[in-house]
A and B are shown apart, each in its own frame.
Chain A
Amino acid sequence: MDTMRDRFAPVVSRLLDEDPRVAVVLAEIGTDGFAEAERKHPDRVINVGIREQLLVGAGAGLALTGMRPVVHTFASFLVERPFEQVKLDLGHQDVGAVLVSAAASFDWPAGGFTHMSPGDVALLDTLDGWTVHVPGHPDEAETLLRHAVGAGDDRVYVRLSVQSNQRGLAVDGARFLTVREGRGGVVVAVGPLLDAVLDATEGLDVTVLYATTVRPFDAASLRRATEAAGADVVLVEPYLAGTSTAAANDALADAPHRVLGLGVGRGELRRYGTVEEHVAAHGLDARSLRERITGFLAGAGARVRS
């Protein structure tokens, strides 16, 4: 199967053809995919070199003139390294852009911690007005990239990863999807962790929601799900554990509820290896997830009985 990132350049190249407002800004990473687009649109495919402050600043400058910049590099160099540019050049200047990252939390484990960005979504959460898409399949990535670029002058983050579910679902760029219905808890699976969550909850009486747009957080769908399934909620996120716990708590603020936030751990593993090994190390494989989810839900029963 191809990766989300394989879709990125072809989709955005078509958008460059379709919409004269669109411009792509790169910092060496990802330039190969845009070679043909650059020949067709030399002024709208821009590579600033390995200069990430300029990458975001120049993207914002393009937006100041009315363009729709699509800015791309690895998550650690797109959100973390130039974070003040994201905060000020986009947010404070009140202009929009589409930031598209690759490499995610640990797409390249052998590359080590310098190329891992489990904290990207949590960092963006400190800012106002960001839409965050976390596709779980290349087809969804394509859909969500189109949504992102077409979202007026909004500030949108699209988090691409080599982690993927087996098949894509019909995501709409806003709502959570109900994948399975039950009566004993709600599990929210984010992006590429859906397959693992479905395996982990096989035979359990829980509702599974699928989230590919996590900001704004679809509070209405979560509330609705808890009406039938009860207000024990497990979030399973492919980035820093607990990133959406506050959003889930806010969604359920007027009712007694419990939230367990699962995701990538804070501690640095200092391990290389494979994606699968890192998934397991963070307890995000189906077996670990099942153990943690059932433990949490059993705790709820014990509390009710006592």
Chain B
Amino acid sequence: MSITAERASHTYTDLPRLMGLMTGDEKHGPAATSTLDVLWVLYDRVLRVGPQRMADPERDRFLLSKGHGPMAYYAVLAAKGFLPVEWLPEFGSYDSPLGHHPDRVLVPGAEIGSGSLGHGLPLAVGTALGLRAQGLDEPSVWVLIGDAELDEGSNHEAIAYAGPAGLDRLHTVVVDNASASHALPGGIAARFEAAGWSAETVDGRDHEALYAAFTAPHPGRPRVVVARVEPKNI
């Protein structure tokens, strides 16, 4: 089966089955799917990317910083034809390109390897700077992080720089499943707003709300969308 032939048939409703190829179960708890709706809306409606465009300098860049629990990410990449569905069942095995944290060198469509928390946002800042320096004005840069990942200080170096630097092509999605033991004082959006970002908090399961938040204009400022989902520990 060719990648493109299968892609055409995949919709949002196929994602549990694709994840099931990795987890052995089509039913998934909130933790495994916390990023699923965000990823789907981005890849289905927002990102200007595609399996044939990975060498195109004009493509959007999506950096998955929260590399833990990448099943939803691999399922979306498979659904969109970046990688073959046949790879999914071997998830995590020695010969599989699909690890429990993604490796950009091995995974078609992955812009970065991740796993150690707090690396994606600084890399995204540099990516935005690199595109600007080359006069590539069209591509947007997206990075997905988790609410507990915000504990890492490297994020705060990036947040504090990107706002004043006016990196308006930079977009951060914080998937908030309340997993941080010590939540950010004042809330996540406020942390970004204090650094000059445009910020919005939405229901991370509501596709229309996500789409609206992802596509709202934010001239001169980087944008953060906090996508709230079910708490991890309930």
Contact = CB atoms under 8 A, between A and B. Distances in A.
Nearest to B134: A65
Given A66-B57, A93-B113, A94-B104, A57 B119 contact: yes
**Is the contact region of chain B dominated by helix, strand, or loop, or is it mixed?**
helix
Among A48, A56, A66, A85, find the residue whose CB has the most chain B CB atoms closer than 10 A.
A48
Interface in A21-55: 23, 25, 43-44, 46, 48-49, 51, 53-54
A84 B118 CA distance: 11
Interface in B75-129: 103-105, 111-113, 116, 118-119, 121-129
Contacts of A51: 157-158, 160-161
Interface residues of A, number: 31
B196 to A, nearest CB: 14
Contact of B127 (A20, A56, A64, A85): A64
Contact of B123 (A23, A48, A57, A84): A57
Contacts of A54: 122, 125, 154, 157-158, 161
Contacts of B112: 64, 93
Given A51-B161, A57-B154, A44 B133 contact: yes
Interface residues of B, number: 32
A146 interface: no
A34 to B, nearest CB: 15
Nearest to A56: B122
B126 A61 contact: yes
Interface string B37-52: 0000000000000000
Contacts of A60: 122-123, 126
A58 interface: yes
Interface in B19-70: 57, 61
A58 B119 contact: no
Given A57-B119, A84-B116, A43 B126 contact: no
Among B116, B126, B127, B154, find the residue whose CB has the most chain A CB atoms closer than 10 A.
B126
A93 B161 contact: no
A89 interface: yes
A89 B122 contact: yes
B104 to A, nearest CB: 6
Contact of B122 (A20, A23, A57, A92): A57
B153 interface: yes
Contact of A53 (B61, B124, B128, B154): B154
Among A58, A62, A85, find the residue whose CB has the most chain B CB atoms closer than 10 A.
A58
Given A61-B128, A62-B129, A65-B134, A85 B119 contact: yes
Nearest to B112: A93
Among A25, A53, A63, A84, find the residue whose CB has the most chain B CB atoms closer than 10 A.
A53
A165 to B, nearest CB: 36
B133 A62 contact: yes
Given A51-B157, A51-B161, A89 B119 contact: yes
Contacts of B136: 65
B219 interface: no
Contact of A67 (B118, B122, B133, B160): B133
Contact of A57 (B61, B113, B126): B126
B224 to A, nearest CB: 17
A44 B132 CA distance: 9
A59 interface: yes
A53 B134 CA distance: 23
A105 to B, nearest CB: 27
20 contacts: A23-B129, A23-B130, A43-B129, A48-B161, A49-B157, A51-B157, A53-B154, A54-B157, A57-B121, A58-B122, A58-B161, A61-B123, A62-B130, A63-B126, A64-B61, A64-B123, A85-B154, A88-B116, A89-B123, A93-B113
Interface of B: 57, 61, 103-105, 111-113, 116, 118-119, 121-134, 136, 153-154, 157-158, 160-161
Interface of A: 20, 23, 25, 43-44, 46, 48-49, 51, 53-54, 56-67, 69, 84-85, 88-89, 92-94
Given A46-B129, A93-B112, 17 more contacts: A48-B125, A53-B118, A57-B158, A58-B123, A58-B126, A58-B161, A59-B126, A61-B124, A61-B125, A62-B130, A64-B111, A64-B112, A65-B136, A66-B130, A89-B119, A92-B113, A94-B104
Nearest 10 CB-CB pairs, A to B?
Answer: A61-B126, A57-B122, A65-B130, A58-B126, A51-B157, A54-B157, A53-B154, A62-B130, A43-B133, A61-B127
